[in-house]
Structure 1
Amino acid sequence: MTLSIQLGIIVGYLLLALAVGLLAYRLTERTAEDFYLASRTVGTVVLLFTTFATLLSAFTFFAGPNMAYEWGPEWILVMGLMDGIIFAILWYVIGYKQWLLGRRYDYVTLGEMLGDRFASRGLRGLVAGVSLVWLFPYVMLQQVGAGTALEALTDGAVPYAMGAGLITLFMILYVVVAGFRGIAWTDTLQGAFMLATTWLAFAWVLVAVGGLETATGSLTDSPATTEFLALGSANYTPQWMLSTAITIGFGVAMFPQVNQRFFVASSKRVVKRSFALWPILCVLLFVPSFLLGVWAQGLGLEMGESGNILPVILNEYTPVWFAAIVIAGAMAAMMSSSDSMLLSGSSYFTRDLYRPFVEADLPDRREDLLARAGVVCFAVATFLASLYNPATLFELGDAAFSGFAQLALPIVLALYWRGTTRSGLIAGIVGSQAFYLSSLFFPPLPGSYAGWTAGVVGMLLGVVLTVVVSWATTSVVEDRRSRYFDGSMGD
């Protein structure tokens, strides 16, 4: 009976999301721009919540509480405050400029925008290729999170592979049917649902354990927890905290599913309202979810074989039906991230790889069909990879964030420095990516430098290479820099 209730609630929620996707399908035009960007008609509430829900993945719901459980509450500072502020600033610095350019020149992807500016098909393909490489482990992370969460919630009755397969099936059905319009609508629903269930879980556990004093008091009863609560402990060095906040914040801005949202706003006012409200939403979600992980440590709960503490504390202190609702919210977070990733990954493939290198005059209807087929192939490939479960959720997420972060600073230079050349930008992207990949896969190379992670060092290397090579080279004749620096582009 317990298992039936759990699965009934979770599957019921996923079916509700699919129903919203079917409604959106009836209103979606059979054009690539509408499928990818909802014809650039998104308002403030939907833009804010679709970006919010898109970023609230397995990394947030499971890796975040796990980090707080194992290392201490400073993880709230890293994610809830530092990255909320960093990404909000980048939304203005990068996102607003992209919105202006996209509105004027009908860009759909970051690769299109850069390839047009530097008159380079190769640059366009490079940006898309790098993005797809790092998108793969982050989609896989959602499937790993779903599999481990359902396995833990049902005490193994639903095995890992079945849970990961369930979320993959719904991702495929939903994205192929819904397109961006349906994703944005359900993201709004899912974002509100996630906030509500997280705060209800927070309050329920607090009441169940006897209040805030009991929840936190056990953490101070033992000398062993002194390090756990100390700001700036051995696990949270200032260099590591800043490195992690920087790579996550800059990496988020380069995620395809986030970066494309910089193009969809219906007006300047929508863009500016959205990034101003962003830090508030971050704090509202991260504080309660990460504190649940902190309390679990003090209450003596064991993480178990699943490797996720959130289902453990919910099973311990809340009714079966409520724990299932919260896990449904986490599944919503994973699906709202994955559906957007699959859609954006498909657009990067069709717009920046297939069209420039295979079929330049691709009709809209055929591109629409190719995009949907790409979603299926990418989702199946990541599911098969997730069955091997090669790393923890944090390791998968951190690698993807840092990989995407390598793109950010060279692209900021391209947006704001007239002197950036095609060769300089390519050197900055290739050099920083090569350095970071080497730090991941070649053990002789250090993963940190004086406490700063290889991800941050790689970002700085990208800036240096972009600037030095740009100074040493000249712009090509076809360079369309006036598109970026034309004063008539307006506000």
Structure 2
Amino acid sequence: MELAFAGWSGILILLMYGLIMLGVGLVTYLRNRNIHQSLDEYYLGGRGLGVMVLFFTFFATQYSGNTVIGYPPSAYRMGYEYLVSVPFFIMIIVAYLLFAPRLYKLGKKYRLITPVQWFEKRFKSKNITILAAILMLYALGNYLLEQLVAIGQGVSGLTGGTIPYQIGVIFFVVIMLIYGWLGGMRSVAYTDTMQGIALLFGIFMLLIGSIIYFGGLPTSADYMQAYSPEKLGVPDGPGVVNWLSLLVLVGIGAAVYPHAIQRIFAAKSERTLKRSFSRMAWMPFFTAGVVFIIGIIGINAFPGLSTAESEQLVGMMASAVANQNVIFYWAMVLLFGGVIAAIVSTADSVLLTFSSIISNDLYGTYINPKATEHKKLLVGKLAGVVAVCILILVAWFPPATLYQIFVLKFELLIQIAPALILGLYWNRLHNKAVFAGMVTGTVVASVMTFVNFTPFGIFSGLWGLLINLAICVIGSMVMSVSVGEEDEAKQVIGM
């Protein structure tokens, strides 16, 4: 993401964002000092997030800065086939609606703090609870690594290389740890709101500038018809299958993100949650749709780019737009500062949930059940710092492309979906079938991913999910459930 217009102005914007984040953390700490004593307050903001804050924290969770940087190059290379990126995000909302309202009610009823607690409450199985925690921690660690790599690349690009990749990572990680330590979920949600507004403003300014200076979709369509007609076509049969499998993988996988589920618990009321989702339903068009259009316009603006060169497309377009006048110059600087801030906001959300699972579900439940909430909080914060330090060492020399990191976490995280969603509605779901399905699905998805085996173009995580689901359903129908166990499940889920 090299930006010809950036440099010292980029450094100024990054410092401004950093200071605002620290200020949010400090103000939140001073206004809510009891967060150091209460898990509920620290990890869920006292379950009092209103519609606007909840909307933006969901928005920042679902649309990281990588959406702005990574999606236009894909649209540039694939053409109109990549319109599928919009339904990706629609599928996430659809998946939320399958379980979020009901999970909210049960989360409020049982004062759940983490998604792992739901597994423990519903199945009362140490094996299921620990396996679910491991899968979630793996996905969270994987996702956090992705964000750290993106932070370093973004800072280096925005400052024209003045600030090296590694220094950029450390700078924002330290800021993130400080305001997260001070303010917990409230700090995270408030910074998400600031970053979401900056990101939306910058995206629309880039779109306006691109249409003015490069021409809109008709101009790009004329160019593609003349020079790249394949980019105007639709995918073939195998391509459609691959599309559909990716829609399901991303839709369900992103909806069961542990940090997204924690935001369900943090809503002020069920009405607040539903109103936030109703607003989120429009965002695929205003975010993924807009960056898709930017990528299509780029085909005409910068024709003939190689795959590696196209990865710099957003930076190239922003540089060209910024050079037109001073308004667009500062709008583009704000955009890329907002992109980095949005990546940081995603990282802090992930880190907060990672810490809560360590402190509440593993340490507080199995290692030291008698620990006070203050001690659990301290353990969670320290575990988060240790995890970040380890991941920084990995991010120092990134081991894979962002896309490979992105896909791998979904392949395994999606294996918790049958137990999570079916467990909310089906009181005869058998513990042994759930555990066997989750283990088998995880093993199948892992092996198929590492050997790169995807029959019919269907992602390995979905093959694991199908086997997982079949074992859960068939196993629960075959295995007998005692009257006492079924009555206990009814009492838990209220059905």
Shared fold, TM over 0.5: yes
Structure 1 166/122 Cα, relative in aligned 2: closer, same or farther at 3 Å? same
Measured in 2, the distance between the counterparts of 1:196 and 1:56 equals 14
Cα distance in structure 2, aligned partners of 1:153 and 1:218: 30
Are positions 1:369 and 2:369 aligned together?
no
Listed as ranges, the matches of 1:114-133 within 5 Å are 114-133=119-138
2:202, 2:332 within 8 Å by CA — same for their partners in 1? no
Q: How far off its partner does 1:216 sit?
A: 4.5
CA distance in 1, matches of 2:362, 2:64: 27
Task: Pick from 44, 47, 54 the counterpart of residue 47 of structure 1.
Answer: 54
- 293, 310, 318: which one pairs with 1:314? 318
Counterpart CA distance in 2 for 1:436 and 1:59 is 25
Report if aligned partners of 1:175, 1:375 keep a CA contact under 8 Å in 2: no
User: Is this contact kept in 2: 1:41–1:265, CA < 8 A?
Assistant: yes
Aligned AA (2:15): V
The 1:485–1:22 alpha-carbon spacing in structure 2 relative to 1, beyond 3 Å, is same
Q: Is the 8 A contact 2:363 2:376 kept in 1?
A: no
Q: Are 2:220 and 2:299, in contact at CA under 8 Å, matched by a contact in 1?
A: no
SS in 2 for 1:157: coil
1:74-102 C-alpha deviation (Å, 9 max, x unpaired): 333x332x233322222222111111111
Deviations 1:258-316 (A, max 9, x none): 01111111212112222222220121111122222222233226475794432222123
Contact 1:198/1:288 (CA < 8 Å) preserved in 2? yes
Structure 1 residue 238: deviation in Å? 0.8
Distance (whole Å) between structure 1 residues aligned to residue 225 and residue 322 of structure 2 = 24
- CA distance 1:342–1:410, shift in 2 (3 Å): same
Distance 1:69 1:11, change over 3 A: farther
Find the counterpart in structure 1 of residue 232 from structure 2.
Answer: 229
In the alignment, what sits opposite 1:94? 99
Q: CA deviation at 1:429?
A: 1.3
Q: Quickly say closer, same or farther: Cα 1:324–1:304, change in 2 above 3 A.
A: farther
Give 1:184's aligned residue. 189
For residues 220-369 of structure 1, the aligned pairs below 5 Å read 220-222=225-227, 225-232=228-235, 237-300=239-302, 302=305, 307-319=311-323, 320-369=329-378
Per the alignment, residue 481 of structure 1 pairs with 489
**Is the Cα contact below 8 Å between 2:156 and 2:163 reproduced in 1?**
yes
Percent of aligned positions that are identical: 26
The Cα offsets for residues 131-187 of structure 1, whole Å up to 9 and x where unpaired, read as 111111211111211222233334433322222233322222221122001111221
Q: What's the CA shift for 1:377?
A: 1.4
Where in structure 2 are there 5+ consecutive unaligned residues? 324-328
Cα shift readout 1:19-40 (whole Å, capped 9, x = no counterpart): 1121112233221110100111
Q: CA deviation at 1:243?
A: 1.0
SS in 2 for 1:391: coil
1:461 partnered with 2:476: no
Paired position in structure 1 for 2:436 = 427
Aligned: 1:14 with 2:18: yes
Query: Which segment drifts farther, 477-486 or 417-426?
Result: 477-486
Counterpart secondary structure, 2:234: coil
- Paired with 2:270 and 2:15, the residues of 1 have a C-alpha distance of 39
**After superposition, what is the alpha-carbon deviation per residue over 1:103-141, rounded to whole angstroms, capped at 9, x for unaligned?**
111111111111122212332221111111111121111
Write the letter of the residue equivalent to 1:65: P
Deviation at 1:7, TM superposition (A): 0.9
Equivalent pair of 1:151/1:306 in contact (CA under 8 Å): no
Is 475-484 or 109-118 further displaced after alignment? 475-484
Q: In the alignment, is the contact (CA less than 8 A) between 1:37 and 1:264 conserved in 2?
A: yes
Matched, 1:24 2:24: no
Evaluate the alpha carbon distance shift between residue 467 and residue 148 of structure 1 in structure 2; reply closer, same or farther with a 3 A threshold.
same
Distance 1:314 1:19, change over 3 A: same
Give yes or no for contact 2:24–2:179 (8 Å, CA) kept in 1: no
Shift of 1:475: 4.2
1:156-235 to 2 correspondences below 5 Å: 156-222=161-227, 225-232=228-235
Q: Alpha-carbon deviation of 1:338?
A: 0.6
Alpha-carbon distance in 2 for matches of 1:211, 1:470: 55
| Aligned CA distance change for structure 1 residues 169 and 229 (closer, same or farther; 3 Å) | farther
Aligned to 1:450: 456
Match of 1:158, SS state, is: coil
Paired position in structure 1 for 2:115 = 110
Q: How many residues align?
A: 479
Contact 2:201 / 2:335 at 8 angstroms: preserved in 1? Answer: no
Contact 2:217–2:296, Cα closer than 8 Å, also in 1: no
RMSD over equivalenced CA pairs, Å:
2.2
How many angstroms apart in 2 are the aligned matches of 1:243 and 1:362? 44
The alignment partner of 1:221 has SS state of: helix
**Residue-by-residue CA offset, 1:305-329 (whole Å, 9 max, x unaligned):** 7944322221233245433211111
Task: Tell me if structure 1 keeps the 8 A contact 2:156–2:168.
Answer: yes
Matched, 1:3 2:7: yes
Once residues 106 and 447 of structure 2 are traced to their aligned partners in structure 1, the CA distance between those partners, rounded to angstroms, is 34
Q: Which runs of 5+ in 1 are unaligned?
A: none
TM-score normalised by length of structure 1: 0.91
Q: 1:428 to 1:34 in 2, by over 3 A?
A: same
Structure 1 position 385 matched with structure 2 position 394: yes
Report the equivalent of 1:72: 79
Partner of 2:326: none
For 2:186 and 2:111, the matched residues in 1 are separated by: 18
